[in-house]
Amino acid sequence: MLLMSTRQPLALIITLALASLPGVYRARAPQFDSTALLTPQPTSFAQCPQFFANGQPPALSPRPQLRELCYEAFAVLHSGATRTPVFVAQRLNRQSIEDADEKRAKRFFADARLPSGERAELEDYKNSGYSRGHMAPAGHMPTPTAMAQSFSLANVVPQDAQHNSGAWSKIEQNTRFRALS
């Protein structure tokens, strides 16, 4: 997780997921819990500039299988090649962290906005030996909708379970602490 801070009270959180793990993907039976996406969300960073420094999404050269996804509380650049996020952008401040006391969602889901051949499915993680690691952490989500959306598999990378509940969890906690200070 890369924390970019300024003298402003707002912290910009960008999470990079640059490595893919081989052998994680298996049978691809479509499984959806799209209740978190009942309200259509934009699929262009131009429609969710609030998550980026100075309201400017990064300049990206168009590439096949790179998809921009906006959610209520974060944005994802998704790779259809790895079926994981390339990066996640989110703004945190004291108010958003204080509001982040939502009951944790329990259902991961495939994001139906992504083509079926480019998205992770729940089956990809079954018996893989990997846990589903949030890039925009569920613990940062300020509303029930944002919480549910954070369980989109487009916001997830395969992680070693010990790393996910250990070092990665500590990074998430430290980020929340930093946003509060």
Ordered by start, the domain boundaries in the chain are 2-19+41-180
Catalytically active residues are 134
Report how far apart, in Å, the C-alpha atoms of 117 and of each of 83, 102, 151 are.
9, 32, 19
pLDDT at 105: 79
pLDDT at 46: 93
Give residue-wise pLDDT tens across range 52-69. 999 999 998 888 899 999
What is the distance of C-alpha 101 from the center of its chain?
18
- Residue pair 120/25 in contact (Cβ under 8 Å)? The answer is yes
Query: What mean pLDDT value characterizes the chain?
Result: 79
pLDDT at 125: 92
- Decide if pLDDT at 148 tops 60: yes
Please give the backbone phi and psi of residue 60, each rounded to the nearest 5 degrees, phi first. Answer: -120, 135
- Decide if pLDDT at 176 tops 80: yes
Beta carbons within 8 Å of 150's beta carbon, 6+ residues apart:
71, 73, 74, 105, 134, 136, 137, 138, 140, 141
Fold exhibited by the domain 2-19+41-180: Extracellular Endonuclease; Chain A (3.40.570)
pLDDT at 168: 87
Entry pTM: 0.76
- Residue pair 157/84 in contact (Cβ under 8 Å)? The answer is yes
